[in-house]
Structure 1
Amino acid sequence: MFDTFDLDLGWRILGIAACIFGLMIVASMYLTRGRWLWTLLRLRPVSPLRLFLIWWRGGRPDRYATHRIAAMKAGIPLTPAFLERMAAMDSPAGADQLMSDIVRSHKAEISAATPENLMDLRSGGLDTGVLVSSAIRIKQSGLPVDLDHLITHQRTGGDPGVIADAVLTARSHQISLGVERATAIANAGKDPVAAVYQAMAPVRRELEEPVCAVARDGIELRIRAGVSLKLNLDRVVGGYGEDTVLSRVRQAIVTAVSGAKRHTDFLENPGDLVQVIRGAGVARDTAYHPPAIDIVEILPGEDTGARRRARKAQDDLERARAEREQKLIEIEVRRTEMKTLREEERCAFDSGLAREFEEGKISLAEYDRRAGQGPRAGRAANAAETAASGESDMDSYMNSSKYDGLDGSIR
């Protein structure tokens, strides 16, 4: 009786366990959408309890199984904890993309792109797909992969694909350009691909306006020049741009023409002007190699020497006119002073004559005679005396007590 009871209990327990196991298998198949059977056939089945916990925590058990299958196929030893983190990601497409990036970086043997590193980058908002694709392209070209510079460039808003394009383009044209230099060029605000093409083929720039300069003989020259700029990739970062080169070319043209004795020196031999410009070091501390310079046109302009002489003659004429006007004004002032002086002399003479008549020193007839003659008779007598002494009437006047001297004023 006891043995029969134990057998029945054992069968019941075994049946219950089988039912539970079957339910777990059905649940695992349901949660993984049939992918659990593939892991079972590979003898690496996923624990149904783990799948249930993933589902209970809000994860995707089917994603867990899918990623584990992909890792098993690629031979990547991913831990269950890492797979659970991927299954708990908000975006299933993002988790699938991350798994694809992990598989591709593993096949390409990019040691820096570890699963944990890619997971952290994906969690930080970076596009690991573009990052891994760029690293794989650089790796396949035979160049060393500097993943840290690509990551830093993408964190600053750059595109790692552009860096890969620049590096591969430079390698195809035998130009030395690494990832570090390409990212530095991009971070400086320049297109690295365009920089590579400009390093291969120079870009021609013409001066916007003719450069006007005057030779020592006074003849003006109007010169139009072109400059072929070839980029130096080693000096793109920290070097001056093309505006500096063009400004230096203009300055060199002005300096060369201004130092020429005759304007025909460069008008007849433009090559001499090109040599002078090249010797001025217009590409110093810039991002370009020494440029090729060509003179497009040289035209003689205005004869500034003749214009300067004509202007000087006009200035001399204006100065002579101003001096003449000043002299006329001085003569008029002198005339006014002499008139005032005569009136003062007349008044003094009349008052003196009246005083002598009142005092009875002269008679009425003498008064009338002297009043009719006026002070001229006295001046005539004085003039005769001064002429005898060798002085002129003007000298006598200027030496008189009423003339002040330098400014011609009356005391």
Structure 2
Amino acid sequence: MEDMAFIFPVILLAGAFIFFSILLWAVPLRLWVEANFSSVKVGIGSLIGMRLRKVSPPQIVRPLITATKAGIDLDINELEAHYLAGGRVDRVVGALISADKASIDLSFTQAAAIDLAGRDVLEAVQVSVIPKVINTPKVAAMAKDGIQLIAIARVTVRANIDRLVGGAGEETILARVGEGIVSTIGSADTHANVLENPDAISKMVLSKGLDSGTAFEILSIDIADVDVGKNIGAELQTDQAEADKRVAQARAEERRAMAVAKEQEMTALVVEMKAEVVKAEAQVPLALADAFREGHLGVMDYMRYGNIEADTAMRTSIAGQDDETTSETETE
């Protein structure tokens, strides 16, 4: 019995502690006091309702306090609705305060829409007040004389609040500026003209209205650096000459192969003609025999024919030896 009398107060104290802990979590009294001392009227019921709707009261009340101190009248229900929609309440309130101090016309509805569109509305307002400088990557282009130029530009932009929702971003600005630089350098007669007047690139590119349809207004385009790259024209000519050389070599090889084939054909033809000669010579003894048999050739005629043939063979042999002697003399 004494144990029960001791345990009961302990259980009662633990239950009271848990109850007050839940109450303090559900009712952020410190935040409520802070809001009321900052002239922000927030009821206890509103704070409890935020807890039940899984809304963090500090992320709603503290930005509301900041806005009230800055002289901007906001509705707590609008802030809570924006939070539930996935927006960043603190960034929206900061943007409204910055816009108000810079005399920029920006409503809560517009700022919330910009934030829900995925853009940093506070940064956008700051860029509207203080223009931002964007450095382009190296842009390579070739002038008409075939010399490559590599340029780097600095683009000064100012955010256009009215076009932040649905407007193109910095990537589009950089792409358009790069395209304009390539076009301007490509239309120059010589690379020296570009090096002498780099501001001509800026003026030409700036006159094309590259900020159309973007969330920014281009204030200036300045060429930071222009370097001379490769001689693309000479490389192209070299490549073309090498290609022409290979074509000529291929055609020469084709002609050589045709000549070799023709030579082989002629060699075969010579062998064939020699065979015909041998065949014809084989008919000579038969013809002589027929001539003897028919009485058209006498013994003296045959002897004379033999002498002529022997004389011809001797002359041929002598002529061959003379040719060999002459060749050896020339060689020595």
Normalising by structure 1, we get a TM-score of 0.58
CA distance in 1: counterparts of 2:128 and 2:67, whole angstroms: 20
Amino acid at match of 1:325: E
How far off its partner does 1:114 sit?
6.8
Work out whether residues 98 and 118 of structure 1, in 8 Å CA contact, stay in contact via their aligned partners in 2.
no
Match of 1:208 in 2: 137
Q: 1:103 to 1:300 in 2, by over 3 A?
A: closer
Bigger drift between 268-277 and 227-236 goes to 227-236
Distance 2:282 2:219 in 1: 103
Distance 2:43 2:177 in 1: 53
Displacement after TM superposition at 1:126 (Å): 1.0
Equivalent pairs, count: 287
- Provide the C-alpha distance between the structure 2 equivalents of 1:90 and 1:337, rounded to a whole number of angstroms: 112
Q: What do residues 61-94 of structure 1 show as CA deviations (whole Å, max 9, x unaligned)?
A: xxxxxxxxxxxxxxxxxxxxxxxxxxx9972113
SS at match of 1:289: strand
CA displacement at 1:336 relative to structure 2: 1.0
Change in Cα spacing, 1:291 to 1:228, as seen in structure 2 (3 Å) is: same
- Work out the CA distance in 1 between the residues paired with 2:122 and 2:129: 11
Q: Following the alignment from structure 2 to structure 1, what is the Cα–Cα distance between the partners of residues 249 and 260? A: 17
Deviations 1:77-112 (A, max 9, x none): xxxxxxxxxxx99721134426964995799576xx
What amino acid is aligned across from residue 25 of structure 2 in structure 1? G
> Distance between the aligned counterparts of 2:39 and 2:262, measured in 1?
110
Other structure's SS at 1:230 match: strand
Which structure has more relative contact order (CA 8 Å, sep 6+)? It is 2
Asked if the contact 1:215–1:263 (Cα under 8 Å) also holds between the matched residues in 2, the reply is yes
Q: Whole-Å Cα distance in 2 between the matches of residues 330 and 201 of structure 1? A: 78
Residue 268 of structure 2 is matched in structure 1 by 340
Q: Residue 116 of structure 1: CA displacement?
A: 5.5
Shift in CA distance, 117/355, structure 1 to aligned 2, threshold 3 Å: farther
Does the 8 Å contact 1:98/1:122 carry over to 2?
A: no
Task: Summarize the Cα distance change of 1:249–1:123 in structure 2 as closer, same or farther, 3 Å threshold.
Answer: same
Q: In 2, Cα distance between the equivalents of 1:147 and 1:357?
A: 136
How much does 1:260 deviate?
1.8
Measure, in 2, the Cα distance between the counterparts of 1:287 and 1:247.
14
Could you say what the CA RMSD is over the residues aligned between the two structures, in angstroms? 3.8
How many percent identity over aligned positions?
Answer: 26
SS at match of 1:223: strand
* 1:337 to partner: Cα distance: 0.8
Instruction: Give SS of 2:218's match.
Output: coil
Check if 1:154 corresponds to 2:71: no
Alignment of 1:41-190 (within 5 A): 91-97=22-28, 101=32, 104=35, 118-190=47-119
Shift of 1:273: 0.8
Corresponding letter in the other structure for 2:101: S
Contact (CA 8 Å) 2:38, 2:69: kept in 1 or not?
A: no
TM-aligned CA distance change 1:249 to 1:100, over 3 Å: closer
SS in 2 for 1:290: strand
Per the alignment, do residues 99 and 227 of structure 1 end up closer, same or farther by CA in structure 2, a change over 3 Å counting? closer
- The answer as to 2:149 corresponding to 1:221 is yes
Matching residue of 1:259: 187
Q: 1:160 to 1:308 in 2, by over 3 A?
A: closer
What are the ranges of 5 or more consecutive residues in structure 2 without an aligned counterpart? 1-14, 293-301, 314-332
Contact 2:27 2:44 in 1 (8 A): no
* 8 Å CA contact 1:195, 1:231 repeated in 2: yes
Q: Does the CA-based 8 Å contact 1:235-1:286 persist in structure 2?
A: yes
